[in-house]
């Protein structure tokens, strides 16, 4: 979902830095200026890491958050919760079945049940 939304950044008026070749081409209208293809058309972004792309003057965290709010609806988004314990599946102890956490703003404890969990790998 996130990778797909990155391709929409340009449609949302974000200027993404692009590599010079082969994404950028000169035009007959302005031979000295280069026009870069959009990401969805094969343009290649400048990267500042394996997953990070450079966006001119924009923080894409807010852009992605706004898109998620529109797609999921505010009633399905829970913010400022800290997960402190992963819950294993009772039939398969190597599988994560949920998580437990608490709100950092309110006096609330939450338990999440899940069919699948995307968990980031450890970073050295």
Q: What is the pLDDT of residue 1?
A: 44
Q: What is the pLDDT of residue 53?
A: 75
Contacts of 60 (CB under 8 A, 6+ apart): 6, 9, 14
The mean pLDDT value of the chain amounts to: 77
Q: Which two tokens stand for residue 93?
A: 């102890």
Comparing C-alpha atoms, which of 109, 118, 62 is closest to residue 81?
Answer: 109
**pLDDT score of 24 more than 70:** no
Could you report the per-residue pLDDT of 57-80, keeping only the tens digit for each?
666 677 777 877 888 888 888 889
Could you report the per-residue pLDDT of 9-21, keeping only the tens digit for each?
777 667 777 776 5
């Amino acid at each position: 979902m996130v990778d797909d939304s990155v391709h929409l950044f340009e449609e949302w008026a974000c200027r993404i830095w692009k590599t010079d070749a082969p994404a950028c081409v000169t035009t007959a209208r302005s031979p000295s200026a280069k026009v870069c293809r959009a990401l969805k058309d094969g343009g290649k972004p400048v990267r500042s890491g394996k997953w990070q792309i450079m966006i001119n003057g924009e923080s894409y965290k807010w852009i992605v958050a706004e898109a998620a709010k529109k797609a999921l609806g505010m009633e399905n988004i829970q913010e400022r919760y800290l997960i402190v314990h992963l819950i294993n599946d009772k039939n398969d102890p190597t599988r994560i079945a949920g998580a437990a956490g608490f709100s950092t703003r309110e006096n609330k404890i939450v338990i999440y049940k899940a069919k699948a969990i995307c968990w980031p790998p450890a970073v050295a």
